[in-house]
Amino acid sequence: MMIWGNIAIIAPAGRLDSEKFDSGIGWLKRHGAQVTVMPNVLGGAEEKYLSASAEARVADLHSAWGNPETDLIICTRGGFGSAQILSLIDWALLRSRDIPLLGLSDITALHLAMFKNGVGTPVSGPMLGRLAEMDDFTGDSLKRAISGAEPQKIIATPLQHGANFEAFPRALNLTIAASLCGTPFMPDLSGTLLILEDIAEPPYKIERALTQLQQCGILGQCAGLAFGQFTDCGTEAELEHIFRKYASEVKGPVWSGFPFGHEAVTVSLNWARLVRVENMAIFA
């Protein structure tokens, strides 16, 4: 059984439907967690795609972070909205404690801004709405990412071979990462292992976002690149063609089929834990 400690639930982007919300909270409690749902998580907004106003969402983040009993912050879901709160965050407050924050998809914006400002520990993995649906592999990977257990070998398909290395992972939603380029919240990703995923974007938008990363120098400066799950983003052949085209921009090894993203089976990645590459095998 996983010991989760005291968990704060926030909704920095979209609002989670009640059924998935209840199932996620129930799952955490059954696994021994003490759960605090921040006041504005279910508050609603005039825009139905947002969980609450930007001010309310950032107030929840501040309250969760400022609570000395908080061990872990879990986001309810992605969607849209994380980037809206970045300029409202009290980064000095967040530097007061090193707290892991779990999420993916739109939460990429918050994770990148956290890394840029040197606060907390981003953990890329399943959010509240998916916890009750996790299989053993996905749940074990999440446990490893949070607890700091020994890394496991992750299966992916090599597209471009390269030397062995160790690097910190940066698991990102491609579209969200591209949207932060040129803003004060985009950090230097040099020397990292980029792991990219996306959902419901047609192939030309995938290539548009990769072009943005390429022209910003991000692809050429990373230690390696793993293409994760691109759910409903075109055919396998279309995606393979795009991935191989942009693999040539990377000086290190490149993989496709890395199991990270919006699919039911996914790994979780702690940005503060090194990933090891040996003979093109990834240990994370």
What pLDDT does 149 receive? 85
Residue 209 confidence (pLDDT) above 70 = yes
Residue 3 confidence (pLDDT) above 70 = no
Residue 153: partners with Cβ closer than 8 Å, 6 or more residues away: 281, 282, 283
Give the predicted TM-score (pTM) of the model: 0.97
Per-residue pLDDT, averaged over 205-232, amounts to 98
- The amino acid at 113: A
In degrees and rounded to multiples of 5, residue 18 shows phi and psi of -60, -35
For the chain, the 3-state helix, strand and coil shares in percent, each to the nearest 5, are 35, 20, 40
Domain 6-132 superfamily per CATH: Murein tetrapeptidase LD-carboxypeptidase, N-terminal domain (3.40.50.10740)
Per-residue pLDDT, averaged over 135-162, amounts to 94
What pLDDT does 234 receive? 97
Residue 1 confidence (pLDDT) above 80 = no
What pLDDT does 44 receive? 87
Q: What are the angstrom distances between the C-alpha of 241 and each of 56, 117, 203, 257, 262?
A: 43, 36, 10, 13, 21
Per-residue pLDDT, averaged over 55-60, amounts to 98
pLDDT tens digits, residue range 63-87?
A: 999 999 999 999 999 999 999 999 9
> Same CATH topology for 6-132 and 153-283?
no
Residue with tokens 């879990």: 74
Residue 108 confidence (pLDDT) above 60 = yes
Cβ pair 188, 220 in contact under 8 A: no
Please state, for a pLDDT cut of 70, what percent of the chain lies above it.
99
What pLDDT does 269 receive? 98
Cα 182 from Cα 103, distance rounded (Å):
23
The average confidence (pLDDT) of the chain is 96
Residue 178 confidence (pLDDT) above 50 = yes
Domain boundaries defined on the chain: 6-132, 153-283
What pLDDT does 148 receive? 81
> What is the Cα Rg of the chain in Å?
18
Cα 155 from Cα 31, distance rounded (Å):
28
Per-residue pLDDT, averaged over 94-123, amounts to 97
Q: Which CATH class is domain 153-283?
A: alpha beta
pLDDT band for position 29 (cuts 50, 70, 90): very high
What pLDDT does 150 receive? 87
